[in-house]
Structure 1
Amino acid sequence: MMNDSEDSYSLEDVKKNLNVLREVPGRVVNAIENAAEERVLDYLIREQQLDTLHDGKRGIGQIRRAVLKSDLASEDLKRLVITRNDNTPETVLVPDEVYRNAKVALKTGKPVVLYGPTGTGKTTFAKQLALEHSIGYSLNTATPSWTAKDIIGGIGPNLSGHRLNYQTELGCVSEAVKRSEDFDIDYTVILDEITRADISKIFGPLYTAIENPQQELIETDDGEPITLKENVNIICTMNMSDRTVNELDNAITRRFAMIEVDQYSDDSRRRLFEKFIDEHIEKANSSGSPQIEESRLRELFEMDYLGINEGNDQTSQGPIMRFGPMHYEDVTKFIGESTNDPALYLDNPGEAVGQAFRTYIVPRLLNSAAFPQIERIENHYRELNDEFGEYDLTPAADLAKRELEAEQRQLGSYE
């Protein structure tokens, strides 16, 4: 039987006492801290997944913390425990130029902003960059109520116990710095959709720290100063559907590398559509449900995308708005699932296509559409409905029509 006074644990020791390790998390911590070789850690974590057993599917509990602090643990093993059950895809789908520019910017030590219209894969790409350039990352989505405290930290109330106390609370950037120091690892903090917040308001102290690396971000209650470190990457994403870089505060464009995630070549976009359809529609077709003609669906995606992003050549109208191709994966997932269930759209796959556009595409267009754009969105889907008679796209067009009527009522012009 293992005991806590043993100097080291061999692979044979932990295998022989696996039942005890499965029951007592403290023994696992002790085995990790006193492992005789790296194979012991690999056996406990990769093979037996005792971190998941005791710490749960996510988060950094005592088992994972012990691995992260271990000198024997490889970078791959540390990355495994800190990102356990992370579902970030390995395949990078953004254009090659975007990928190269972002990697170079991070290598120079610059914080990075990935900007572009909705649906271009910015958040997924940010996570992929984080996993390439660091052991772990945290993802934080901005809100309109964010302040500098959410970024840097500050003093907050501690309501535990019988009296009110105040303590230092770390922000998402200072928390990332603390984690990198605690575990001596490269770490990335992702600030997602920062245009939801007042950028000048939330980033003020961070700008100062970027300009002066020795500038203290915050001091912990233990008197430990938190300063930006070279092994902490900052990656931001922002939705630029209705804004341009010129409208941003100059402070951010001076201090961050601005990487546009926008223009997919015709070939790369079509490969994306083929990938989505192959993964989600082909599976449904092969299960015996009504066939959806994959080439025809790709044609619909292509015409929809071009109509939104480039406009209508026949009417000489320009683009409706900038809109990314990643949204169509949700459409294919919806179609694949709904046409494979007798209780849903098994007998009417064409209706499923229209409902998928109504559910995933049109609301995202309307979210940032101005009044003239809403009318064009409705007309666009009326035209597509005429072109693709096998699909019922009237729900998509009707949703835009109702939004248009609501806008007209507000303007007092609808009768």
Structure 2
Amino acid sequence: MASIRPQRVADAARRLKFKATRTGADYVRLLVLKYQGLEPNGTTVTISNNSVISACDDLFKASSTQPYIWFDPFSGEWKRMAANGGWPVGSVKTQYERPNKTFRKLLEVVKYGPDIEVSTHGTDSDYYQCLRELATRTKPQLTEALIWFSRNRTDLSDGTELEVGHLLPQFQKSFHFTEEEIRILFHFDTDSLRERLPLTAGQTQISLADLLPSPDPTDPAELTSFSDQAGETTQRENDGKGYSWTQNYARKTFADSDIGDMVDKVKAMAASAYLVLPDEDTLVERCVVALLAGHLVLQGPPGTGKTTLARLLAEAFSADTAVATATADWTTYEVIGGLRPKHDKSLEPFLGYVPKEALACAEAMKKAEENNTAGADDSKPTPTARWLIIDELNRADIDRAIGSLYTVLSSAHTSHLSTNPIDLWFETEPERQKLWLPGKFRLIGTMNDVDTSFVNSISQGLTRRFHFVYVGVPDRNQIPDEMDMCRRQAQVWLKKDFPHLALSSENEKHRPSVNEIAQRIKNIFSWLRYGDTSAGSAQGDSHHSWPIGSAQAVDLWKAVLLTLASRADVSKDDLVRALDSCFADRIVPQMGTLRNSHLREIQGWFLAEQSEMQETERAVRHLMNTQSVR
């Protein structure tokens, strides 16, 4: 098999340079998405760290040796690195999770833990218009792109001349390009596609790493080198140098923070996550201001998106997150650390959640500084901090568990943090017995303030160390949008977890039934939260309010959509029964802390207004008297 003429490929590589601008970065990210299957018809593509690494390897990797060499489309240079350690995978995937204005118009994104679902939305004309905007300033030659992305072909004939245009079908198939997309995204003319490439007869594929010019200096040892970021914290944590270096990062905090910009970022990410917040502008601004000043607790009813909001806030501050769930048996061992047994029955030091993540935060700050010093591309963002999210904070006796952190957490001022380290008494080496909390480190707690009988109270002394922001249910006028978002969340969940089920809801004949279910859910949530405010009704004065969260609506929609997707002959009655059963089995048990007078009111309303939901009415009646027959 033959390889495409080396010098011609080298020329193509150099001409494929994308400027290190937001537009250039968006163009490269779009290529990665297209390579993974994104199409204008709304097909959903699942993106993970591994899939992005694999796609970037296919698109930009030049050598299979380790450390291999890859072509950086932003700088037009060849770079040497450890496997998958240098390509800005984080930048690619993060941009999908935190889309800018262009990508928000182009893509619909839902995050599922480490993975995300990406698809196009709107009409084809909207999609192509967005592509035109993207390609305004970044538009490579199609000829050069064809040669570059065909660089590793081994199925070409020896001793012949090949027209560049003959490479187009495979290129179009690999990237799932439509003809319109190619016309928009690339410069080309008919003559250039007729250009002929002489192929070297009898020559096996040559490693491009050995053929293409390296950036100055040419000494391979001095090429840009990268290391695997994932292992750095452990290495430094055990390098014998102690933790004294962390004191330097206790003196550094968030620089050039723009509150308005951060609020806009969080709102955009919340929309992508289908999260509806009450009085969104005020709520998000309060959270941003609180985090600039110190640590934060998000309190409110279950299911209102507190943990999701905590993650989004961290992302807006360019902070990675670790999440811990508090439990009733937490002590200072879990929070600060202590000694734990080894297999040989000896004891070794163990860092608790706070010092462990504080150390990781200092590592992230150090890494960001190194990148800035090295002139790293701004289009390749990396976390500049690491935060700890403690879910269900008041499930633990946090006053007892937080121990000596009382003093450290009393202020987030750099002068305080740099003079009040965490005492790690259990460390055997003296240089590791003090660790300083970085100025960019934050604790975010989430707290359920409804189930007060099952959680611990927090002392006034500890509450002074946090800002407490209430995250309630959306306002009454937000309920239609909220319920639509909940439905979309459930639809994405169904696609991801049950891809073999065809969504019958897309079939026009089921639309009236689905719309009726949607209206029923909106009515139920509106009444449970706010009561009947129709003309002439006095019920709003005596109505018991129950702040049921958005997550519960998602649960209901999951049950309805599963029923809808699993049967071709589904009827409206089937959907009502699915809703009724899910409400009785999943929502009513959550009413266990309500008073009987409140439960009687709910039972009466379902009898009068939702008479078809008989299982729900029976479940509420049984909850008032568990000795009765249901």
- TM-score w.r.t. the length of structure 1 is 0.72
2:397 maps to 198
Q: What's the secondary structure of 1:326's corresponding residue?
A: helix
Q: What do the CA deviations read for 1:266-297 (whole angstroms, capped 9, x no partner)?
A: 23232111223356579542146744545433
**Conserved? CA contact 1:241–1:323, under 8 Å:** no
Pairwise CA RMSD of aligned residues? 4.2
* Residue 251 (structure 1) shift: 2.0
1:65 paired with 2:230, answer yes
* Residue 148 (structure 1) shift: 2.3
- Which segment drifts farther, 247-256 or 272-281? 272-281
Residue 315 of structure 2, aligned match among 109, 124, 131: 131
Amino acid across the alignment from 1:257: H
Residues 157, 335 of structure 1: CA spacing in aligned structure 2 closer, same or farther, 3 A cutoff?
same
Separation of aligned partners in 1, 2:594 and 2:506: 38
Q: What do the CA deviations read for 1:102-134 (whole angstroms, capped 9, x no partner)?
A: 0111112x1000001112111111111112123
Residues 230, 35 of structure 1: CA spacing in aligned structure 2 closer, same or farther, 3 A cutoff?
farther
Amino acid across the alignment from 2:472: D
1:358 maps to 584
* Residue 28 (structure 1) shift: 6.9
1:401 maps to 621
* Residue 210 (structure 1) shift: 0.9
1:42 paired with 2:227, answer no
Residues 189, 35 of structure 1: CA spacing in aligned structure 2 closer, same or farther, 3 A cutoff?
farther
Amino acid across the alignment from 1:395: E
**Conserved? CA contact 1:191–1:235, under 8 Å:** yes
1:324 maps to 549
* Residue 197 (structure 1) shift: 1.4
**Mapping of residues 129-208 of structure 1, within 5 Å:** 129-158=313-342, 160=343, 163-184=344-365, 185-208=384-407
Separation of aligned partners in 2, 1:376 and 1:190: 38
1:302 maps to 522
Identity across matched positions, percent: 19
**Conserved? CA contact 1:309–1:320, under 8 Å:** yes
Residues 226, 134 of structure 1: CA spacing in aligned structure 2 closer, same or farther, 3 A cutoff?
farther
Separation of aligned partners in 2, 1:335 and 1:237: 30
**Conserved? CA contact 1:113–1:236, under 8 Å:** yes
Aligned length: 356
**Conserved? CA contact 2:355–2:422, under 8 Å:** no
1:338 paired with 2:563, answer yes
Residues 15, 343 of structure 1: CA spacing in aligned structure 2 closer, same or farther, 3 A cutoff?
same
**Conserved? CA contact 2:361–2:385, under 8 Å:** yes
Residues 253, 268 of structure 1: CA spacing in aligned structure 2 closer, same or farther, 3 A cutoff?
same
2:276 maps to 93
* Residue 167 (structure 1) shift: 1.6
* Residue 248 (structure 1) shift: 4.1
Q: What's the secondary structure of 1:146's corresponding residue?
A: coil
Q: What's the secondary structure of 1:41's corresponding residue?
A: coil
Residues 251, 296 of structure 1: CA spacing in aligned structure 2 closer, same or farther, 3 A cutoff?
farther
Q: What do the CA deviations read for 1:38-85 (whole angstroms, capped 9, x no partner)?
A: 99822777789xxxxxxxx97xxx94426889xxxxxxxxxxxxxxxx
Q: What's the secondary structure of 1:138's corresponding residue?
A: strand
Q: What's the secondary structure of 2:586's corresponding residue?
A: helix
Separation of aligned partners in 2, 1:66 and 1:242: 41
Separation of aligned partners in 2, 1:154 and 1:40: 34
Amino acid across the alignment from 2:436: T
Separation of aligned partners in 1, 2:333 and 2:570: 48
Separation of aligned partners in 1, 2:581 and 2:568: 15
Residue 115 of structure 1, aligned match among 281, 290, 299: 299
* Residue 92 (structure 1) shift: 5.0
Residues 274, 16 of structure 1: CA spacing in aligned structure 2 closer, same or farther, 3 A cutoff?
closer
Residue 235 of structure 1, aligned match among 430, 444, 450: 444
Amino acid across the alignment from 1:124: T
2:424 maps to 218
1:104 maps to 289
Separation of aligned partners in 2, 1:201 and 1:343: 57
2:481 maps to 271
Separation of aligned partners in 1, 2:90 and 2:515: 45
Residues 317, 303 of structure 1: CA spacing in aligned structure 2 closer, same or farther, 3 A cutoff?
farther
Residue 61 of structure 2, aligned match among 15, 18, 39: 15
Separation of aligned partners in 2, 1:308 and 1:165: 57
**Conserved? CA contact 2:544–2:598, under 8 Å:** no
Amino acid across the alignment from 1:355: S
**Conserved? CA contact 1:281–1:294, under 8 Å:** no
Structure whose alpha-carbon radius of gyration is higher:
2
**Conserved? CA contact 1:90–1:128, under 8 Å:** no
Q: What do the CA deviations read for 1:129-187 (whole angstroms, capped 9, x no partner)?
A: 112123310011111111222111122222x2xx3111221111111112122343411
- Give structure 2 stretches of 5+ with no counterpart: 1-12, 15-56, 72-77, 94-112, 115-226, 235-269, 366-383, 411-415, 493-502
Separation of aligned partners in 1, 2:570 and 2:345: 57
Residues 115, 299 of structure 1: CA spacing in aligned structure 2 closer, same or farther, 3 A cutoff?
same
- TM-score w.r.t. the length of structure 2 is 0.49
Separation of aligned partners in 2, 1:325 and 1:92: 9
Q: What's the secondary structure of 2:315's corresponding residue?
A: helix
Amino acid across the alignment from 2:390: L
2:607 maps to 382
**Conserved? CA contact 2:364–2:386, under 8 Å:** no
* Residue 199 (structure 1) shift: 2.6
Separation of aligned partners in 1, 2:90 and 2:388: 25
Amino acid across the alignment from 1:381: F
